[in-house]
Amino acid sequence: MIELVRTNDAVVISFVEALMRDAGIACIVADQNMSVMDGSLGILPRRILVDAEQAETARRILADAGIGNEIRKQ
């Protein structure tokens, strides 16, 4: 799995999940339950992971959707 996005913005996470679902790309949102550790303040970022074989396609989808700035640099 490749880290595609790391953010604590719930809107970005939902948008990326929707884009990946619409494209048929499986993704995992890691660290969702870490909010228990930060008191549910949303301080700790969540990571969106995709399969390495689909990472380039996923990056292109995010760039085309106008959120290419959210893509995690390798």
Q: What are the pLDDT digits (tens) for 58-67?
A: 999 999 999 9
Two tokens, residue 32: 């969702």
Q: What are phi and psi of 23, to 5 degrees?
A: -85, -5
Give the residue numbers spanning the domain of 45. 2-70
CATH number of residue 39's parent domain: 3.30.70.790
Which one-letter DSSP state was computed for residue 4?
E
Stated pTM of the model: 0.86
Residue 16 neighbours by CB distance under 10 Å: 25
Domain total in the chain: 1
Mean pLDDT on 45-62 = 96
Measured CA distances, 8 to 5, 38, 41 (Å): 10, 12, 10
The DSSP bridge pattern shows strands 2-7 and 27-30 to be unpaired
